[in-house]
């Protein structure tokens, strides 16, 4: 009798262990591998992926820039005033991907007269190339290490008509070539271009332009022009070339909240810091 009980106990434990290992394997697989693109069916799925940074790859982080602003924010049916920083970005300072102290180079797209991030990069010792076609401000030296260009980042080279104004646009590869940076390491690539990031990132990846970028701080916008699949695909494409999310913040600025089917407002913009894992291996 004792032998039968021992045998049954052994079988039970074996099956339980097998079931646990199968479940654990599934969990760890889902944590380490994003699903194939175009499987996203709800905003909640996108949000859950975006809000899962791998902080372990970047334990040392700093916030660069930012000024406080007062926003009208709606939580359910209750209107609130929310004090939030704008223009701030999390920079990974961990070994391998931290900006170089000797020869730091930053490309910053999207200024809108808010210079705090660019000026913090300058204080750190970086040479900063800043771009924004929307300010109606010509090329100039903002300071000794910050050069401003009245150009926008795009997947094409040329001029576009934006709100009855002509904007000069250029691909990232064109701008790198013009500034003699084609083969240079870019310490930080900051992109805040109000929804155009989806098309631009795809173009950068196709041209292999991110291989020399240590880290990128990127604002994801969804103002109704992008589908959930496009929103997610940009993230997936970066992950696919080993750019990993290490820091994220939801943004409640104008145009970044929408009412869901239950009548509650949700965030639709995210500021995410991605590090290039290849630099961790050098």
pLDDT, average across residues 46-68: 91
- Contact yes or no for 234/37 (Cβ under 8 A): no
pLDDT, average across residues 261-274: 74
pLDDT tens-digit profile of 166-181? 999 999 999 999 999 9
> Quick one: how far is CA 256 from the chain centroid?
15
CA nearest neighbour of 38 among 202, 231, 198, 212: 231
Q: How many CB atoms lie within 10 A of CB 235?
A: 24
* HSE-CB for 98 with a 13 A CA cutoff: 14
pLDDT tens-digit profile of 208-265? 999 999 999 998 876 555 667 777 888 999 999 999 999 998 876 656 666 565 655 5
| Pair type for strands 186-191 and 243-251 | unpaired
Q: What is the 3-state secondary structure (H, E, C) of the chain?
A: CHHHHHHHHHHHHHHHHHHHHHHHHHHHHHHHCCCCCCCCCCHHHHHHHHCCCCHHHCCCEEEECCEEEEEEEEECCEEEEEEEEECCEEEECCCCCCCCCCCCEEEEECCCCCCHHHHHHHHHCCEEEEECCCCCCCCEECCCCEEEECEEECCCCEEEEECCEEEEEECHHHHHHHCCCCCCCEEEEEECCCCCHHHHHHHHHHCCCCCCEEEEEEEECCCCCCCHHHHHHHHHHHHHCCEEEEEEEEECCCCCEEECCCCCEEECEEEEEEEEHHHHHC
Q: pTM for this structure?
A: 0.81
pLDDT, average across residues 12-40: 44
197 pLDDT more than 50: yes
- The tokens of 39 are what? 């499987």
- CA separation for the pair 66, 68 (Å, rounded): 7
**Degrees (nearest 5) of the Cα angle 258, 193, 229?**
55
């Amino acid at each position: 009798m004792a032998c039968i009980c021992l045998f049954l106990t052994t079988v039970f434990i074996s099956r339980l262990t097998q079931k646990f290992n199968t479940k654990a394997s599934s969990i760890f697989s889902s944590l380490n591998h994003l699903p194939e693109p175009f499987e996203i069916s709800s905003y909640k799925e996108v949000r859950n992926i975006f809000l899962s940074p791998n902080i372990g790859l970047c334990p040392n982080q700093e916030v660069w820039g930012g000024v406080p602003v007062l926003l009208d924010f709606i939580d359910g049916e209750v209107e609130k005033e929310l004090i939030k920083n704008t223009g701030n970005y999390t920079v990974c300072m961990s070994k391998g991907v931290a900006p170089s102290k000797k020869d730091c180079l930053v490309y910053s797209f999207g200024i809108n007269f808010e210079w705090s991030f660019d000026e913090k990069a300058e204080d750190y010792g970086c040479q900063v190339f800043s771009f924004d076609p929307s300010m109606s401000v010509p090329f100039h030296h903002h300071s000794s290490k910050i050069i401003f260009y009245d150009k926008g980042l795009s997947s094409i080279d040329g001029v576009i008509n934006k709100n009855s104004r002509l904007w000069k646009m250029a691909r990232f590869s064109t701008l790198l070539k013009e500034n003699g940076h084609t083969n240079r390491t870019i310490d930080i690539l900051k992109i805040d271009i109000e929804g155009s990031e989806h098309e631009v990132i795809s173009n950068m990846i196709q041209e292999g332009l991110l291989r020399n970028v240590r880290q990128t701080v990127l604002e994801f916008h969804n103002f109704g022009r992008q589908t959930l699949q496009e929103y997610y695909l940009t993230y997936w494409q970066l992950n696919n070339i080993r750019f990993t999310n290490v820091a994220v913040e939801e943004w409640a600025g104008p145009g970044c909240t929408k009412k869901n089917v239950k009548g509650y407002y949700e965030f639709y913009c995210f500021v995410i810091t991605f590090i290039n894992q290849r630099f961790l291996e050098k």
